Amino acid sequence: MTNTNVRDAFPDILRGFALFGIALVNIPLLSIDALLSFEGADLTQSSNFAAAFIVMTFFQAKFYIIFSFLFGYSAHYVIRGERENRRRWIGRSIGLIILGILHFTFFFHGDILFLYGLFGLLLLALYFRSDKTIRRWATGLYIGITVVYLAFGALVYVGEALLSSKGKSLPGETFSPMLNEALQSGSFLDTVGPRLEVWAFAAPNGILLQGPLVFIAFLVGVLVARKNGLVSTNPKLLNKLILWGFLVGLPVQALSAWLFLSNAIGADSIGIYLISLFINLLGAPLLSAAYVALLWKIAQKAKLLLLSSAGRMSLTIYLGESIVAATIFSAWGFDLFAKLGVAEVTLIAAATWLGLAILSVLYFKVRNKGPMETVLTRFSKLFERKS
């Protein structure tokens, strides 16, 4: 970022790319099962298993990490190393919290904006620290959550084995959301109460599971922005990221997906479920980095207008994906909830992203900023000190 008045192209391309993966991962929660996602489908059907395996291996966790990384990267654009710009960042974070509340209340209980707003405020505690300090925090947090996650999963698995040897088992999930029923037969407003119920139940788990990785990605984004890492980069580093991502990261993600899905249709072990989930989360950054490196190489040879336009209005498209999916699958819309397989839902998710990306290209022929981006910018400016 050598000139703050000129918008760098690659971060937008990367945002547009991330939105594609996010659509494929999020929309099953609006179309198959509000809490279980792929697990709510009949995974004994080979088409369902195969489609879920592909999405989990190549997309789940990888793209929200990229999106989170870009959020931290954008902090450098907004704050630009000047303490007086903190007010604008605070306004932006509060705006995301408000949008997140509206989003999870009326459209999608798996909202990420609320979490971004909260951790965006927390980011200010480290933003003006040295590269070395930020790197230590990111490394320490990653090591810490790795130990905690894997130890917790292992303890649950051992506990299950001990109970099983005595003819007992861990208590099953007692939470039974009404959201599935509301999505199948309720009106638009009928879904609000059950959606808030699911969000209140799932939010603490989401903050504990996703929160640390989101914040680590924020910190890495800040470090990369300081080095102009998405403007000019080291070819050897890119090749190394691609090599490690596809030779190590991809097999790890495939193993995690296979464990998760096989367990869902077999032993249904809470311990295996947690271990597979933690492997997915902890190993995802390797494949995420490989995607970034590979896309950077491609972007040097191709314009990628569709991705770039989508990325320029990423907030609008992120919210738009939820609105379109809710309309397609809810009873108050086209009433397709729980009526399609994983493969069909995945194709609809891809088509939703594609349609919104095409609209973004057309939109930028007459406007220069996305509608929700304009709203958030204007809101954040309310927090700036008046001269």
Query: pLDDT tens, 121-155?
Result: 999 999 999 999 999 999 999 999 888 888 888 88
The reply to whether 237 falls in a domain is yes
Across the range 197-204, mean pLDDT stands at 83
Answer whether residue 1 is part of any domain: no
Helix, strand, coil share (%) of the chain residues, nearest 5: 75, 0, 25
* pLDDT over 90 (residue 161): no
Whose tokens are 């139940």? That residue is: 201
Please state, for a pLDDT cut of 70, what percent of the chain lies above it: 95
Output the pLDDT for position 167: 67
Give the C-alpha separation, 221 to 269, whole Å.
36
2: in domain = no
In this prediction, residues 203-219 reach a mean pLDDT of 86
CA distances from 191 to 61, 65, 86, 112, 197 (A): 26, 29, 37, 19, 10
Question: Does residue 204 lie in a domain region?
Answer: yes
Burial (Cβ within 10 Å: 0-12, 13-18, ≥19) of residue 176:
exposed
Domain membership flag for residue 47: yes
Per-residue pLDDT, 290: 96
Within a domain: residue 386?
no
pLDDT band at 206 (very low <50, low <70, confident <90, very high): confident
pLDDT at 3: 45
So what's the pLDDT on residue 170? 57
Secondary structure class of 169 (helix, strand, coil): coil
Could you tell me if residue 4 is inside a domain? no
Task: Please give the pLDDT value at position 2.
Answer: 41
Residue numbers of the domain that contains 249: 9-381
Residue 249 is classified by DSSP as: I
pLDDT of amino acid 47? 95
Give per-residue burial for 215-252: e unless 16+ CB within 10 Å, then b.
bbbbbbbbbbbeeebbeebeeeebeebbebbeeebbeb
Cα gap 233→228, rounded to integer Å: 8
Count the Cβ atoms, other than its own, within 10 Å of residue 337. Answer: 24
* Range 232-247 average pLDDT: 91
User: What are 370-385's pLDDT values in tens digits?
Assistant: 999 999 999 998 988 7
pLDDT of residue 168: 61
- Give the pLDDT score at 234: 84
Q: How far does Cα 355 stand from its chain's mean position?
A: 20
pLDDT at 176: 53
pLDDT tens sequence across 309-358 = 999 999 999 999 999 999 999 999 999 999 999 999 999 999 999 999 99
Task: Name the nearest CA neighbour of 364 among 4, 7, 5.
Answer: 7
Q: Which position has the higher pLDDT, 61 or 173?
A: 61
Q: What is the pLDDT of residue 311?
A: 96
pLDDT in the model for residue 78: 87
The pLDDT score that the predictor gives to residue 282 is 86
What would the pLDDT profile of 91-104 be if each residue is shown by its tens digit? 999 999 999 999 99
143-175 as b/e: b if 16+ CB within 10 A = eebeeebeeebeebbeebeeeeeeeeeeeeeee
224's tokens: 């990369």
Give me the pLDDT at residue 347, please: 97
Burial category of 265 from C-beta neighbours within 10 Å (exposed 0-12, middle 13-18, buried 19 and up)? middle
* DSSP per-residue codes, 212-236: HHHHHHHHHHHHHHHTTTTTS--HH
193-219 average pLDDT score:
86
Count of the separate structural domains present in the chain: 1
Q: What is the mean pLDDT of the chain?
A: 90
More confident residue, 206 or 238: 238
Residue that has been written with the tokens 């459209």 in this structure: 107
pLDDT of residue 252: 95
Q: What is the pLDDT of residue 211?
A: 86
Q: Which tens digit of pLDDT belongs to each residue from 3-22? A: 445 567 899 999 999 999 99
Tokens coding 63: 């793209």
Residue 353 placed within a domain: yes
